[in-house]
Amino acid sequence: MSKKGDCWDNAVAESFFHTLKVELIHRMKFRTRDEAKRKIFEYVEMYYNRRRAHSTLGNLKPLKELAVVFSGQF
């Protein structure tokens, strides 16, 4: 295990995959691999990256964070 801040620190990835499993995968029964791929893509691109509040962004939604950054209101 590496110390915090090293490029081998994968806490963010682990947190993401935990959230993905809790909020989507364990709640659904996929009929095919293609259905699973489609649902996971929809979850990540349509919900997780756009609407879900992220603690690393001060609990802002990613699109809201982008609006703040690009409006110059740091």
The Cα 50–Cα 61 span in angstroms is 6
d(CA 37, CA 58): 30
Cβ partners under 8 Å of residue 56, min gap 6: 12
> Residue-wise pLDDT tens for the chain (74 aa)?
556 666 666 777 888 899 899 999 999 999 999 999 999 999 888 887 777 766 766 777 776 666 776 776 55
- For the chain, give every domain's residue range: 32-74
pTM of the predicted structure, to 2 decimals: 0.61
pLDDT, residue 48, reads 79
Query: What percent of the chain has a predicted confidence (pLDDT) above 90?
Result: 32
